[in-house]
Structure 1
Amino acid sequence: MALFTESADVSVRPATPGDEQAMTDVQLAAWGTAHRDVLGDDVLAALDVDRIRDQWASAITSPPGPGFAVLVACERADVVGFAAVSPGQLVALEVRPSAQRSGHGSRLLSAAVDRLRSDGADEVAAWVLDGDAARERFLAGSGMGPDGRTRTLATGVRDVVESRWSASL
């Protein structure tokens, strides 16, 4: 006997109020898996979970201007990933580790690029933490590549380096 649901098994939609807790959970789980070696347990432990949740809530309900958007990937009704864009930039893209390699990241990136194009962008850029080989492979498979720009971020515990990846749209 087949079960029928009122929603697609997988989807991407604009984030709505109430998604911020699931997004925070996804971010913490993804960072704990992908960035533990570079950031270290001390940086991950120092993250202010309430502040992260509040920042996502604000990004959803009060984007800072045109061209800013937050999208979520869903598996049935559960939020399993998210992407955030600002003019010309993919600000964030995270998928819960248990839901990775299921197409959620590709769907999020595609929706994010569609949003950037509709807002008139002719390029997409993203920052990649050094040592994140999985994200580099994902972005390279999507047609993006490093453009030679780097930046150093102070975490309060240790500095980390990111490289900028970009592609023309």
Structure 2
Amino acid sequence: MGHDHSGGPTADVSVRVAWADDADAIAAVQVRAWPEMYADLLPADVLPTDVDVVAAQWRQVLARPADARHRVLVALERNRVTGFALTSPADDPDCDPIADGELSEVTLDPTERGKGHGSRLLQAAVDTLAADRFTRAVTWVNAGDDGLRTFFTDAGWAPDTAHRELDLDGSGTTRVKQVRLHTAIA
């Protein structure tokens, strides 16, 4: 690897496309982050807790992507995965799957917040969507999640007036309102 003396502390952090070998690390981040992200929305017993089960699902996703434009990005500190993001064609009925890309998840390890990983992941996701020739990016955020919403609006995203209500557990008892944000990409 060698040492990079030019970039200071940022030399140790990066974002890259995930490999199949990252499945366990991505699963570990998800299992740690989701209870905190969804604490107010979902009963704890429906959240994944078995890292091995989650990792097996990720291995399948990473080995056989549904479409070339379905991408998984990981944020790294040295070689440790600190978060991940998912990009794909947008599948909302009012979106154009050629022009509109979706950032469907940005998840950070709860212990890694506030270190810039989220901003780097977001920038890499937008760069990835641009490289995949999308001209607009959309993402859905829970209406009550002011922190996440501010994270996106600070980065130049804005509400596009679309909203939806999700039935999270299929029973109709756990519903969450979401708003869609969008940004133009070069």
Give the TM-score of the pair, scaled to structure 2. 0.79
CA deviations 1:72-131 (Å, max 9, x no partner) are 011111101001100201011111111111110111111111111111111011111232
With over 3 angstroms needed to count, the CA separation of the structure-2 counterparts of 1:39 and 1:132, relative to structure 1, is farther
Q: Cα RMSD between the aligned structures?
A: 2.3
Q: In 2, distance between residues paired with 1:86 and 1:48?
A: 26
User: 5+ residue gaps in structure 2?
Assistant: 5-10, 90-100
Q: Which has the higher contact order (CA 8 A, sep 6+)?
A: 1
Partner of 2:29: 26
SS of alignment partner, residue 30 of structure 2: helix
Partner of 2:39: 36
With over 3 angstroms needed to count, the CA separation of the structure-2 counterparts of 1:76 and 1:120, relative to structure 1, is same
Shift of 1:138: 0.5
Amino acid at match of 1:111: A
CA deviations 1:5-36 (Å, max 9, x no partner) are 69x41111110112112112212222222321
Partner of 2:98: none
SS of alignment partner, residue 21 of structure 2: coil
Aligned residues with identical type, % of pairs? 39
Partner of 1:159: 175
Per mean C-alpha deviation after superposition, the further-off stretch among 54-63 and 141-150 is 54-63
SS of alignment partner, residue 82 of structure 1: strand
Shift of 1:149: 1.3
* Alignment partner of 1:17 is 2:20: yes
SS of alignment partner, residue 36 of structure 2: helix
CA deviations 1:18-74 (Å, max 9, x no partner) are 211211221222222232123343443x67755543332222121111211111011
Amino acid at match of 1:69: R
Would you identify which runs of 4 or more consecutive aligned residues in structure 1 move more than 6 Å? none
User: 5+ residue gaps in structure 1?
Assistant: none
Partner of 1:58: 60
Q: In 2, distance between residues paired with 1:53 and 1:145?
A: 33
Partner of 1:125: 138
- Whether contact under 8 Å (2:141, 2:178) holds in the other structure is yes
SS of alignment partner, residue 73 of structure 2: strand
SS of alignment partner, residue 124 of structure 2: helix
Q: In 2, distance between residues paired with 1:47 and 1:115?
A: 30
Mapping of residues 52-131 of structure 1, within 5 Å: 52-87=54-89, 88-131=101-144
